[in-house]
Structure formats: structure tokens, C-alpha cells
Structure 1
Amino acid sequence: MAVSCDIRGTTRLVGVIGDPVAHSRSPAMHNAAFRALGLDWCYVPLHVTGRNLEAALRGLVALEFVGANVTIPHKEQAAALCDSLTPAAESVGAVNTLTVQGGCLAGDNTDVGGLLLALAEARVELEGREALVLGAGGSARAAAYALAQSGARVTVANRTLARAEALVQALQGRVRGRLTAIPLADRAALEASLQQATLLVNTTSVGMEPRPDESPLPDDLPLPPGLTVLDLVYAPRQTRLLREAAARGCRTIEGLRVLVYQGALSFECWTGRAAPVEVMMHAAEA
């Protein structure tokens, strides 16, 4: 993806670390925001594999980056490599935002706030409601924390039940709402959870390019028409899950909304300036 910024000796650098990372819309939206505010900053995509993550994070410090975003699949591992964590990041056990401070890495989790802003924009009620979260990685941790802390009762469904149970155990006692875990392969449990839920959040990468025809749910699983479906996958914007949910009368929310809102919160962490959210949204949608 084109970075689209003029880099000189005075340019301050930030980026996004992930595997894969070529699909990311973050460089486009952040660089548009920097241009809009006249900042001599540049945001670059950084493809990093798991075995090179520690070296890459220490490289941010050595290269005098201001910070970086962290995306799939490194959010939990990156949290363990930070020198300090915000209370939200510590509770979630995953980071998506890094800031270099005095030669050290500080980790934050703006996925939590980004998700809640997108849901508030769509006027989704959480207090006392049932929510189903698909996945058990770093994004699932942030989603489950955000929803349960807002008073929702959250069920976490994952292919590997042990990972879902570990997520629930890690968050239980740190949040207001109840959390439970079920195996994603248990169709009866999944269907029962969906019938009770008012919100479904997909945090897995299933349905992301280059395999946009896949869905994280089993084929022909009934979705109640009153359900709101949020898919954190944003490439493509209209995933198979969202298309099928809309066809069944569900309300849908694109993952691009969450991406922009969490990015705006990261932008404010690094720059100390209010993010031009509309500029970022337009760049992400282009």
C-alpha cells in the first residue's frame, strides 16, 4: 500500500506491525490525518512475523519511532513485551497501541474504546443484554472486556475451547458483566447463544481477503432478525457474514468504523491532538 508522505530528516515515524499487514487501511487514514493537521509525520506498514516481534519492538525504540499500532496476530505477545501497560491494556492482556517513552515501550488498548464508539454511533444498547463474541485472540479480549465492562453478558465462542476458557478466566472479576465460553463447533450451543443475543461480534480473521467467501459461522445457522452484527474484518468492507446477516434482516456494522475510531484514539495518544475523524474515515473508505 502506498504510504503517501514526504519523509525528511525531521519526520516523526509511526507504523503498524502485523502479519499480514499489506491490506491495512491504517497508513492511508493516519497519513491523511497528518496532512490535514500539517504535521511532519509519516505512518508506515511494517510486516513482522512472530519470531521477529521482540526484535521489531526494540527496533522501534532504537529507530526513534514515536510508536506503532499492533494488529493480528501479535496483540497478546506484544503486551508481554511492553515495559508498561495502561490499566485497560493490562486488564485485556493485549495491546494495539505502542508509544515510545524515554527509551521504553508503553502499551495501550484503543480497540476497547474504538469498539464502544462504533456501537454508540449505531445506538447499540449493552447494559443487561446478551452478546456473542467469535474468537479468542487479542481483538476478542478487547471486545469481551468492552462489552462485559459495559454491563453485557458475554459468550465467547472459539474453535479451541481452552483458549475461550482462558480468556473468560482472565477477564472474570475485572468486568461488570458475566462471561462464559463455548466451543465454536458446538452448533446447538452456538444457536442457543444466538437466540438470546442482541449483538454478535466477529473478531476472527475469517472472511478477510484473500478468502472473502468464508464465514466464521457454520452454514445455514439461523440469525435472529433483531440481531446486530459487527464484523471487525474490514477488507472487504462487506464480508460474507455481513451480507448474510443483512439478508436475514439483521442490522450490520462494518469493521471499518471500529478501525477508524481506534485509530483516532491512537492518533491522540501519539500526537496529543484531537484526531480529524472525518478525514480519517474518508481516507479509510477510499
Structure 2
Amino acid sequence: MGKLFGLIGHPVGHSMSPSMHNNAFHLLHQNHHYHAFDVSEADLQAAIAGFRAIGISGFNITIPHKVEVMKYLDEVDEEAKLIGAVNTVVNDNGRLFGYNTDGEGYLQSLLKVTGDQLKQMRVLLIGAGGAARAVLTVLSRYGVEELHIANRTKEKAASLASECNQSSKDAFVWSIEEAEQKLHQFDLIINTTSVGMSPNVDQLPIALNNIKQDAVVSDLIYNPLKTKLLQEAEAKGATVLNGVGMFVEQGALAFEKWTGTKPDRNEMEKIVLQQLGGVSNSC
């Protein structure tokens, strides 16, 4: 009999994780199953208790439970603590261990575009929410020399920079308007907000008038595959990267923690792109 894995979120009907993971189990001839569970915020504690009771082997956590779930776990990985959120849980003989594979998943997808030059890049993060925290944490750990944060509310960006500082050098903080004026100074621009996500596909998180022609522009959004931000960046000569790679990598890393085996990431990407109606991870 195979093992049961799952996803907790609200809503979860749109999730591509079941198809992605179940296909990976099939390709590896593992008789496991992954199922999405729609759990309201009021029922989260009961759901975790239920998972313990039935002995579910591992599960993912998505919006809106990534922070709250930490209360009901036995142990949380150090990086997940720094990020302040958990997206992957492993059941080790009845003890629930929480991890965050979002940051590392993003880093792995980004390195395919930047290579080792990432450490020397001047990086601008747009946004100051949970996704920005994950990206900032992992880029700081990787050793990126210069990190900047721009947000509509500058105070929130400053708070994030202070909380996530892991080195002697603080991240620089700007308003969106200030960042727009300085855009030519940045080698890598990363949108961590939901601005431009379907159905609001005509929105831009930042104006690109002053962008460097050889910059890299990354958008964590994957629906649409090519946001307006990426379209405009590409038209100005920038290299662009959408959020499919991050989604695939974070899922693959979770899969490895659960099973001890490496899934075929190319096949995982194919499943995601089939559901999104696209053809490429890096646009």
C-alpha cells in the first residue's frame, strides 16, 4: 500500500500540485497518492490533528495557512523560521517537521538564468509580503552583495529589511517612485507581488522606463505565463523569467524531502505548462 501526501489551503481547486506530484509518483513507479484538501482557517488545527491521526506522510501548505500552521507542528526548520512561514511538512514517525522550499525553489530557478553572477548583481525586490521575505532570505543566505526593497508602503519595506537582515549590511529601502528613478542601477528586478496576476493582467508593479537593457526581470507570477511586466521588459531587451520554475522547484524539493528520491523536473514542468496552456518556463 502506498503513502498519502497532500495539500492544505483555501481554496485549492485551482492547484496544479496534485497533477504534478501524482505524475511524478507514476513515473518513479511509486504507489503513492497526493490529494488537495480545502481547509478553512477555522478548521486548520483540526485538519492537522486529523493528518496526525491517519498518519499522512507529508503535505504542502498554501495560502492562507503558511504562517498559522507553524503553531501545530513539532519542529520548524531554521530557514522556515527566518522566512516566517512553512510550505512543506514531513511526518517523521508521528512528529511533524515544517520546512519552507519556496525560497530555495526560487533560487534554483533563478540560477538557471543568472549563473554564478547572481552574487555580484544589484538586486531590486518589489513587494514586502511573504513571498518577498522568502526571496530576500534566500538571496541573503546565498551571498548576494547588494539587495534593495521597493514597496508602495516604504515603512513595510523597512520593516522587512530589518527583520530579514542576516549580514552586517542592511538592505536598501525605497518607495516605488524612488525605485523607478533608480531602475537603471539594478541588474536584477524581482516582482514578488500579485500585481499583474490574472485576471488583472494589465497592471504593472513598477514602471520600466529607466530599466537597463541587459537587466534580468523576474516575476513570481505564472498565470499569465508572461505578465505585462515581463512583456515590457522583454521589449526593452531584458532577459525575463516567470514563476513556473519556482513552482516546479519548490514542489520537487518537497517531493525529495518526503520520498528521498528526485523527481523529473522537466516532466513536472510539462504538467504545469499543460495546465497553464504554455510552452516555456523562461519566457
TM-score by length of 2: 0.86
Question: d(CA) in 2 for partners of 1:35 and 1:216?
Answer: 39
- Provide Cα deviations, 1:161-192, integer angstroms capped at 9, x if missing partner: 343223222211x24764133334xx1x1214
| One-letter code aligned to 1:155 | H
Give the aligned partner of residue 199 of structure 2: 210
Extract unaligned runs of 5+ from structure 2.
275-283
| One-letter code aligned to 1:208 | M
| One-letter code aligned to 2:62 | T
Q: How does 1:156-235 map onto structure 2 within 5 Å? A: 156-172=149-165, 174-175=166-167, 178-184=170-176, 187=177, 189-218=178-207, 221-235=209-223
Shift of 1:119: 1.5
| One-letter code aligned to 1:216 | P
RMSD over aligned Cα atoms: 2.3
* Residue of structure 1 aligned with 2:225, choices 218, 237, 243: 237
> Secondary structure of the residue that 1:123 maps to in structure 2?
helix
> Secondary structure of the residue that 2:149 maps to in structure 1?
strand
Distance 1:54 1:123, change over 3 A: same
- Whether 2:128 is the aligned partner of 1:136: answer yes
Distance 1:50 1:243, change over 3 A: farther
* Count of matched residue pairs: 272
Question: d(CA) in 2 for partners of 1:37 and 1:145?
Answer: 33
Contact 1:26–1:263 (CA under 8 A) maintained in structure 2: yes
Question: d(CA) in 2 for partners of 1:223 and 1:31?
Answer: 41
- Provide Cα deviations, 1:4-37, integer angstroms capped at 9, x if missing partner: xxxxxx3422222334433322222111101101
Question: d(CA) in 2 for partners of 1:100 and 1:208?
Answer: 34
- Whether 2:84 is the aligned partner of 1:59: answer no
Distance 1:86 1:227, change over 3 A: same
Contact 1:95–1:138 (CA under 8 A) maintained in structure 2: no
> Secondary structure of the residue that 1:263 maps to in structure 2?
helix
* Residue of structure 1 aligned with 2:252, choices 264, 271, 278: 264
Question: d(CA) in 1 for partners of 2:45 and 2:155?
Answer: 26
Q: How does 1:1-286 map onto structure 2 within 5 Å? A: 10-124=1-115, 125-152=117-144, 153-172=146-165, 174-175=166-167, 178-184=170-176, 187=177, 189-218=178-207, 221-286=209-274
> Secondary structure of the residue that 2:196 maps to in structure 1?
coil
Distance 1:275 1:225, change over 3 A: same
TM-score by length of 1: 0.85
The percent of aligned pairs where both chains have the same amino acid is 37
Distance 1:114 1:151, change over 3 A: same
Shift of 1:278: 1.8
Extract unaligned runs of 5+ from structure 1.
1-9
Shift of 1:198: 0.9
